[in-house]
Amino acid sequence: MEEHQRRGSHPSLSSLITLITLIATSSPLASAAATLTDDSKCECYLTNGTQASFFTTHRFLDFRNLAKNAGVPPTIAKSDDSGSAPVTSEYFTSKEWTETFWVQSWNNSHMTREDATVLMVNSPNNVYIEANGDRNPSSQTWLTLRTQRLKDFQTAAEIESIGPGFQYLSVRMLARTVGSPGAITALFTYRGSDRLADVQESDLEVRTMDPHNTIQYTNQPSYTEEGEEIDRATKNVTLPNGHPDWTHWAVHRLDWTPKETVWYVDGIEIATISFQTPRDPSKVILNAWSDGGEWSGNMTVNEAAYLQIQWLEIVYNATDENPARKMKRDDDGAAAALSARSGNDEDEEGGCDVVCSIDETTDRGKPVMLWNNGGVRTMEVWLVSWIPSFMLLGMFVLSSGGLW
């Protein structure tokens, strides 16, 4: 009898489903997955992809809304005045910029790239904010790196990270390359050396003389002092059909990890090279250049090519060589401990409790919180966080005398 009465008090199946849905969507994990946060709350960042990794620091440079800094400076036609030119707008003296990049002014007159046939001068005048003149503009402005062939030389653009101590990173940019054949535009990690064989470098390079759907990816060096090519070091990739070619806006991503370097275009893996993966702290560099040599090609006089970038985002681990290294918020001792563990990929949780993502975000540049362990390991916190839900469900089941 009693059994019967209790059965009689059963709620409908639909209200049970509602309850379960309520529990599931209100669990800390499910709700946290969609929560936009800011970097001060994140202790590390977990990337997605084949070499998903934890990184301790996040940088986002947004060039999309800089109308007050926009303006295309006329090219400086005298090589002697190019290197010493000032930066092109106040943006390049802002804290955001100067803490991250410096604009280069070196030239190749003292260099020994054997096949260079043209003097190349990097000029701060070729790095500027430009108003978006697209027919359906997806931003107000972008950052341009310009290279142009002049009568006596090639004027070029390069920006280098302030910190030389990036050691593993995931860098992404919304970018495109436009202009004439005979130039290279590139995003790469770089650790120089006097010996070619000791250079460490992961490259993404667009050769403007190549078809618009091919991109060159390399773990340098891809050749020897004797001029032999090292085929395993480099891949000339044809983008999949239907993919935006390099003249169209696309998110180009380079993941340098301990095991290999992986490149993506718009979230699709395009190339992986595990041969000669860089090991030691490196800089991040972007450029647009040509030296009339075989690799870059020879640009026609007065022609130009441009690397245009709407935003640039990096998550990375910094070594002590890097002044931009992030401090853990609570104390410097913990920060030192955190940075001392850099490169320890056995630590599956990145040695951090509050894990964020820049992939899952709905607002580019702002991280979302994936989970907050508060000192408890993931699986435990997962279980712990569900206990109230399990209890609620248990009480519900008990009070209704079984599930059905």
Ligand X SMILES: *[C@@H]1O[C@H](CO)[C@@H](O)[C@H](O)[C@H]1NC(C)=O
Min separation Cβ 48 and ligand X, Å: 4
When asked if residue 332 is in the footprint of ligand X (CB under 6 A), the reply is no
Min separation Cβ 151 and ligand X, Å: 9
When asked if residue 80 is in the footprint of ligand X (CB under 6 A), the reply is yes
When asked if residue 350 is in the footprint of ligand X (CB under 6 A), the reply is yes
Only segment of 240-248, 256-264, 318-326, 370-378 that touches ligand X (CB under 6 A)? 256-264
Nearer to ligand X, 22 or 30 (CB): 30
Nearer to ligand X, 268 or 391 (CB): 268
When asked if residue 257 is in the footprint of ligand X (CB under 6 A), the reply is yes
When asked if residue 351 is in the footprint of ligand X (CB under 6 A), the reply is yes
Please give the size of the binding site for ligand X, defined by CB under 6 A: 40
Q: How many CA atoms lie within 13 A of 346 on its CB side?
A: 1
Nearer to ligand X, 117 or 399 (CB): 117
CB-closest chain residue to ligand X: 267
Min separation Cβ 387 and ligand X, Å: 28
- Binding positions for ligand X, rule: CB under 6 A: 48-49, 53-56, 79-80, 83, 107, 109-110, 117-118, 121, 168, 207, 210-211, 214, 216, 236, 257-258, 264, 267, 292, 298, 317, 338, 341-345, 347, 350-351, 359-360
